[in-house]
Amino acid sequence: MSQCDVIIGGGGMVGLTLAIALAKGGLSVAVADPVHQSAALDTAFDGRVSALAFATVRMFEALGIWPHLAKDAQPIHDILVTDARLNGEPSPFSLHFDSAEVGAASLGHIVENRHTRAGLFAVAATLPNLRLIAPAALIDLAPGPQSIRASLSNGETIEAALAIAADGRESEMRDRMGLGVIAWSYPQWGIVATVAHEKPHNGVAYEHFLPSGPFAILPMTGNRSSLVWTEDEKLAPKMMQLDAEAFNAEIARRFGNHLGATEAAGPRWSYPLKFHLARGYVKPRFALAGDAAHGIHPIAGQGLNLGLKDAAALADVLLDAARLGLDIGALDTLKKYERWRRFDSLAMAVATDGLNRLFSNDIAPLRALRDVGMGLVDAIGPARRFFMRHAGGDVGKLPRLMRGEAA
Ligand SMILES: Cc1cc2nc3c(=O)[nH]c(=O)nc-3n(C[C@H](O)[C@H](O)[C@H](O)COP(=O)(O)OP(=O)(O)OC[C@H]3O[C@@H](n4cnc5c(N)ncnc54)[C@H](O)[C@@H]3O)c2cc1C
């Protein structure tokens, strides 16, 4: 049986970032994941991009991850939000967020998840006190008074002061440790595809609110954008089955022609959209982070940013405890993390759920209400800046890493 300070189940973007932060802070860390590194970097594994908020970018800079991503990151200079109809003109009320207004070079960056993973693997490989065990799933946890014992699918047993589940939305460890969830499904799927277009996007991200849900066009490097297309659950499977020509025609109906001719480049992916929030984030010697703790609607592109804020907050709480010689797996240490993060995640989950309900319909009074609301926010500078600070993750109590400081 081997020993370490922290065992993390899940080497996704949240689990690996957390492992790097804790290892850089001096703890010994093991990360187990059933997916081998080379498979996790394959273009066919995850077609998503993520909008990294500027607080997230500061964290990646502080951890030395950002230099590995910078060349593949597309800065977002402007965000244009419109209330639109299929084939129709957008409503005259729209929202425009401009990075210059908050004195920032960008409102965040779009990075393909595979590039973020590659950067995380590269930094993890430089840390002698971080051990990545893959392929190996965490299959059981047995907490005791002084430590927790983790069993892995490769037959290994690891004893640690603390186990963290960062094993995604269907977290088996969350269920095994008896942390229930509040959950529901949206009658929508997220369809994700990369689109090549004729004209440059100039770093502008668009969000068209269509009756079936938001249709986001996120600028990628080159003349490419990533679509995050929210579609009715009955229609989405049909869209996924269309041949290339018909799929391109459906994209064009929603995309508009502001970037010239468009064409889907590469495969398409679909994700049934769900909401969940764990009823508790911690137990003695156990904590949840990232999608294992919460899953929100992608309408505001904040799910990963929220998970990375969990990682940064956990690093603050655990490293402070370790430096004071306290037990990092004790419930009162872990409760500090839960108090800090659970309310913040709940607030974001409620806000994104409400936005989706308000915008994903074609009901005339609601359409009028949201159009007036958008017009008002657009006309009032402080309101616009408030939304930009939220999107950038610069609100509430920021962990050290998200302020750009060392863990
Ligand atoms: C359509 C769509 C678009 C999105 N767009 C954005 C965006 O623009 N910005 C944003 O911030 N967020 C976005 N999100 C959300 C974001 O993708 C997730 O929040 C993020 O991937 C969660 O990361 P994670 O590391 O917590 O979980 P995951 O990425 O799910 O990683 C979990 C890891 O755990 C491993 N694992 C599973 N079981 C076990 C086990 N038993 N033992 C060990 N390991 C295990 C898995 O192999 C995996 O590597 C989007 C989501 C969707 C669906």
Reported as a single tens digit per residue, the pLDDT across 36-47 is: 999 999 878 888
- Ligand 1 is surrounded, with C-beta below 6 A, by 9-15, 32-35, 48, 50-51, 137-138, 166-168, 172, 190, 192, 228, 271, 290-291, 298, 301-305, 307
- Local confidence band at 70 (pLDDT 50, 70, 90 cut-offs): very high
Residue 232's DSSP bridge partners are 188
Cα–Cα distance for residue pair 115/68, rounded to 1 Å? 8
Average pLDDT over residues 317-325: 98
Its pTM stands at: 0.94
**Top mutation candidate among 35, 138, 167 for ligand 1, by most atoms within 8 Å of CB:** 167
Calculate how far, in angstroms, residue 194's C-alpha sits from the geometric centre of ligand 1: 19
pLDDT digits (tens, 9 = 90+) for 141-194: 999 999 999 999 999 999 999 999 999 999 999 999 999 999 999 999 999 999
No. of helices (H) and no. of strands (E), the chain: 12, 19
Calculate how far, in angstroms, residue 165's C-alpha sits from the geometric centre of ligand 1: 12
Distances (CA, A) of 190 to 116, 216, 250, 378: 21, 10, 15, 27
Cα–Cα distance for residue pair 213/229, rounded to 1 Å? 8
Ligand 1 atom closest to 14 (CA): 25
Is pLDDT of 88 > 80?
no
Long-range CB contact pairs, 65-68, < 8 A, 24+: 65/17, 65/20, 65/119, 65/120, 65/123, 66/119, 68/118, 68/119, 68/122, 68/123
Higher pLDDT, 353 or 191: 191
